[in-house]
Amino acid sequence: MTSTLIVGAGSAGCVLAARLSADPARSVRVLEAGPAFGTMAELPFELLDPGRLPVGPESALVWRYAGNLVRGKLIGGSGAINGSYFIRPPAADFAAWSAVAGPRWSFDSVLPVFCDLEDDQDFGEAPGHGIGGPIPISRTRHFTEFSADFAQRCEVTGFTEIPDLNTPATDGFGRVPLTVSNGRRSGPAVTHLYPAMERPNLTVTGDTMVTRLLLRGTRVIGVEWVRGRERGRTCADQTVLCAGAVESAALLIRSGIGPEPLLRSLGVPIVRPAPVGAWCTDHPEIGVEFPGGEPGEPAVPLEYVLHVDDLEVRPYTQMFTPGLRRVGVALMHPESTGELTLVSTDPTVAAHVDQRYLHGGRDRARLRAGVALTAELIGRRIGPVDDTWLHANLGTSQHLSGTCRMGHAHDERAVVDEQGRVHGIEALTVADLSVVPVPLRRGPQATTVMLAASIADHMVV
The answer as to whether 127 is a domain residue is: no
* Mean pLDDT value across residues 184-211: 97
Residue 296 pLDDT: 77
Q: Is 437 annotated as a binding residue?
A: no
pLDDT tens-digit series, residues 8-59? 999 999 999 999 999 999 999 999 999 999 899 999 988 999 999 999 888 9
* 299 close to 83: Cβ distance less than 8 angstroms: no
pLDDT tens-digit series, residues 96-124? 999 999 999 999 999 999 999 999 999 99
What is the domain extent for residue 320? 137-184+281-342+350-396
CATH number, position 152: 3.30.560.10
pLDDT tens-digit series, residues 292-309? 888 877 899 999 999 999
SS3 for 390?
helix
pLDDT tens-digit series, residues 242-279? 999 999 999 999 999 999 999 999 999 999 999 999 99
Q: 258 and 315 share a domain?
A: no
Q: 298 and 424 share a domain?
A: no
Percentage of residues in the chain having pLDDT higher than 70: 100
pLDDT tens-digit series, residues 168-181? 877 999 999 999 99
Preceding omega of 384 cis (within 30 degrees of 0): yes
Q: 414 and 382 share a domain?
A: no
The answer as to whether 51 is a domain residue is: yes
Average per-residue pLDDT in the chain? 96
Q: 392 and 293 share a domain?
A: yes
SS3 for 105?
helix
Q: Is 176 annotated as a binding residue?
A: no
SS3 for 152?
helix
Record the pTM: 0.97
What's the CA dihedral at 194, 195, 198, 202 to 10 degrees?
Answer: -70
CA distance 109 to 453: 13
Q: How confident is the model at residue 390 (pLDDT cuts 50, 70, 90)?
A: very high
Q: Is 445 annotated as a binding residue?
A: yes
Preceding omega of 44 cis (within 30 degrees of 0): no
Q: 362 and 411 share a domain?
A: no
Q: 36 and 71 share a domain?
A: yes
DSSP state of 41: G
CATH number, position 50: 3.50.50.60
Predicted confidence (pLDDT) at residue 376 exceeds the cutoff of 80: yes
The answer as to whether 253 is a domain residue is: yes
The DSSP annotation for 308-334 comes to: ETTEEEEE-SS-SBTTEEEEEEEESS-
The answer as to whether 124 is a domain residue is: no
Q: 206 and 154 share a domain?
A: no
| Residue 399 annotated to the active site | yes
The answer as to whether 108 is a domain residue is: no
The answer as to whether 74 is a domain residue is: yes
CA distance 123 to 102: 30
Predicted confidence (pLDDT) at residue 461 exceeds the cutoff of 70: no
Predicted confidence (pLDDT) at residue 219 exceeds the cutoff of 80: yes
Q: 304 and 272 share a domain?
A: no
Q: 306 and 272 share a domain?
A: no
Out of 399, 408, 423, 458, the active site residue is 399
The answer as to whether 103 is a domain residue is: no
The answer as to whether 10 is a domain residue is: yes
pLDDT tens-digit series, residues 76-85? 999 999 999 9
The DSSP annotation for 51-97 comes to: T----STT-SSEEEETTTEEEE-STTGGGGTS--B--PPPHHHHHHH
Predicted confidence (pLDDT) at residue 285 exceeds the cutoff of 70: yes
* 182 close to 193: Cβ distance less than 8 angstroms: no
Q: 160 and 272 share a domain?
A: no
Q: 156 and 86 share a domain?
A: no
Q: How confident is the model at residue 67 (pLDDT cuts 50, 70, 90)?
A: confident
Q: 86 and 191 share a domain?
A: yes
Number of domains in the chain: 2
